[in-house]
Structure 1
Amino acid sequence: MAALRPRVLIGNWEEDACLEEDRLREFMRKRERGELLIQKINKLEDNLLKKIQLSVSKDGFVHFGDTVMLLNPDNKSSPENHYGECGSLTLAINLDEMSLYSAGSLQAPRGVSAVKSGEPVGRNTFCILSVDGGAVGEPIRFGQNLALGTTGGFSDPMLYLGSDHKSFIRFAKKSYLQQVFLTDELSYLTCWQAAFLDPQMRLEYEGFPVPANSTIIITHCHTNRSLAVPRNFWTSSYFGKEYEVTCHTYLDSHKAEEDKNYWKIVTGNPSNEGATMIDRPSPHPGGIRKNELQEET
């Protein structure tokens, strides 16, 4: 015998129907405005993971207006810092999970981190900017002030790499050293300088153009501390394992900066669009040059 069913609607059916219609209208409104969570995440990922064409250096130097990557090179001579595990790291915009849910664009202040990806994308490419009237296309020089701005869809507003003295409320989360951040205000806190690697030759090279893809030191003008990746402080983020970036000068027994402070300003490969000069194969495999072989023989 079939179960008896009511022939009339009972309960708060009208209220439920109205609430369902309201939810549908709200969903359609958010979808039209691009305010849905999945739309925000997709938009942010499109900017973060968008492939960026790096500037090609025709004269071997770095210029104002160039789009570059900042790479902390691998150095297996320091096993205590797990260099073999980390490899080369690039400076990148730091994004926690909450920022992906809260907005579809970057908001200042924003942290930075070092990531393993060597492919130039939106989150790990920067534009070199002049702060003292240098023209676009003019080579930057050792000891000259410069700024580093974000690229890859985040130019409105552009965020600038900055740092400030450590305080009780302002410090790096893991190492408690001087923090590095991104801000939307261009000021003395966002001024940096490139320094020659050898401290004994640093004064002699001041004023010379900075070569691209060569190891240098990047120093913060206001605090006189150098950009660094300690490599023993890391976090798990939306994009995987990322390493803390600080502003701290690590000196060895000879008063020279350690490899934690080493950086390369990476430019594009002219023979392979989309690649970098770091990806370019060495003309002397194994690091042995022809003249060195002749000297040995």
Structure 2
Amino acid sequence: MAQNLYGPRVRMGNWNEDVYLEEEIMKDFLEKRDQGKLLIQKNRKLKKNLLRPMQLSITEDGYIHYGDKVMLMNPDHPALEEAGMFQRGDLSLCMAPDEIKVQLNDDFQVPCDVTAVEARQPVGRNTFVVLSAGKDATGQVVRYGQDFCLGLTGGFEDKMLYLSSDHKTLLKSSKKSWLQEVYLTNEVSHLNRWQAAFLEPQLRLEFEGFPVHANEKLVIYHRYTNRALVAHRHLFLRTYFGKEVEIAAHTYLDSQRVEKPKNIWIFVTGNPRDESATMLDMAKPRAEDTRAIEKAMGLDT
């Protein structure tokens, strides 16, 4: 009878190749970890920059200037159609990197999507810089009807993306509404230019050339396509940070030819009393009770 000469410790097959393969995998893992190239390290770095707290510019004269860091806020409005389907609250314009691209890179790729989210704190993904469209005009006042650009760094110091838009085509449009797309790109062109329009259409021509007030309602038009920036509160997108609202370029007018609340925006600046807050967080002074004075003057009729 043949005797079995092999014990349980005898290695058979391509055991040597398997050992070397495991060593190479571990070596590659340690090398990527030391260089910060692991997937979890890339995501943490990107998320850290996008959610990095930012400080908004503080305006002393109440106007918006070139070079100011601001937030673009779509204010809440009580008269919402089909309130159950709409996102309520003040919505902040922000960068929305694609989740698939985030999984592959530690840096956002262009063009990058733009969405709106209910956030009142300035961070890397929702803090914009007002830039001049032509020659450098840092420090000068932005005026109604004057071209300007909106840049965003995303929390990175050496990057600048510009809010842009272009005519919709069969291959290029917003994801939900199929209207004109708004996106962020690193290319400087005429597609980056925007204009601020006074809120009241009847006074819009008279305010042409006047300084743009900070923390007041206005309409932002795309210079090339003449479409207004809009927040679709009833259309939601799944992003890397969760469910957010779609942003597009389209002008919605009511029966009186006035832009609807979804087209209204505010340039939000910093709070001089608290560097980490915005002007929206300032407590409004209580209205003075004048009923006794009115009664004494016989005006309480």
TM-score range, shorter chain: over 0.9
Q: Which residue of 2 aligns with 1:55?
A: 57
Structure 1 residue 221 displacement after superposition = 0.2
Return the letter of the residue paired with 2:51. Answer: L
Structure 1 residue 241 displacement after superposition = 1.7
Moved more, 137-146 or 235-244: 235-244
Return the letter of the residue paired with 1:97. Answer: E
Structure 1 residue 155 displacement after superposition = 4.6
Conserved? CA contact 1:61–1:209, under 8 Å: yes
Q: Which of 229, 235, 238 is the equivalent residue of 1:227?
A: 229
- SS of the counterpart of 2:220? strand
Conserved? CA contact 2:86–2:233, under 8 Å: no
How many residue pairs align between the two structures?
Answer: 291
Q: Does the C-alpha gap of structure 1 residues 233 and 280 become closer, same or farther in structure 2, counting only changes over 3 Å?
A: same
Q: Which of 19, 22, 33 is the equivalent residue of 1:20?
A: 22
CA distance in 1, matches of 2:288, 2:186: 47
Q: Which residue of 2 aligns with 1:267?
A: 269
Conserved? CA contact 2:197–2:204, under 8 Å: yes
Structure 1 residue 293 displacement after superposition = 8.2
Structure 1 residue 113 displacement after superposition = 0.3
- SS of the counterpart of 2:64? coil
Query: Residue 115 in 1 paired to residue 147 in 2?
Result: no
User: Of Structure 1 and Structure 2, which has the larger fraction of its residues in helix?
Assistant: 1
Q: Does the C-alpha gap of structure 1 residues 135 and 82 become closer, same or farther in structure 2, counting only changes over 3 Å?
A: farther
- What 5-or-longer segments of structure 2 have no aligned partner? 1-5
Q: Which residue of 2 aligns with 1:160?
A: 162
RMSD: 1.9
Q: Deviations over 1:84-115 (max 9, x none)?
A: 74211000101232122011111111110000
Q: Deviations over 1:218-242 (max 9, x none)?
A: 0000000100012111123232220
CA distance in 2, matches of 1:292, 1:252: 37
- SS of the counterpart of 2:82? helix
Conserved? CA contact 1:82–1:231, under 8 Å: no
Question: Residues 1-297 of structure 1: matches in 2 within 5 Å?
Answer: 5-80=7-82, 82=84, 85-284=87-286, 288-289=287-288, 297=300
| Superposition TM-score, scaled by structure 1 size | 0.93
Q: Does the C-alpha gap of structure 1 residues 36 and 273 become closer, same or farther in structure 2, counting only changes over 3 Å?
A: same
Q: Does the C-alpha gap of structure 1 residues 221 and 147 become closer, same or farther in structure 2, counting only changes over 3 Å?
A: same
Return the letter of the residue paired with 1:33. Answer: Q
CA distance in 2, matches of 1:40, 1:29: 15
Q: Does the C-alpha gap of structure 1 residues 81 and 197 become closer, same or farther in structure 2, counting only changes over 3 Å?
A: farther
Moved more, 88-97 or 154-163: 154-163
Return the letter of the residue paired with 1:22. Answer: E
- SS of the counterpart of 1:205? coil
CA distance in 2, matches of 1:208, 1:8: 88
Moved more, 28-37 or 161-170: 28-37
Conserved? CA contact 2:125–2:154, under 8 Å: yes
Q: Deviations over 1:11-69 (max 9, x none)?
A: 32211110111001111221122210011000000111100011111111111111110
Q: Does the C-alpha gap of structure 1 residues 294 and 154 become closer, same or farther in structure 2, counting only changes over 3 Å?
A: farther
| Superposition TM-score, scaled by structure 2 size | 0.91
Return the letter of the residue paired with 2:147. Answer: N
CA distance in 2, matches of 1:97, 1:152: 16
CA distance in 2, matches of 1:293, 1:177: 55
Q: Does the C-alpha gap of structure 1 residues 118 and 82 become closer, same or farther in structure 2, counting only changes over 3 Å?
A: farther
Structure 1 residue 183 displacement after superposition = 0.8
CA distance in 2, matches of 1:294, 1:274: 40
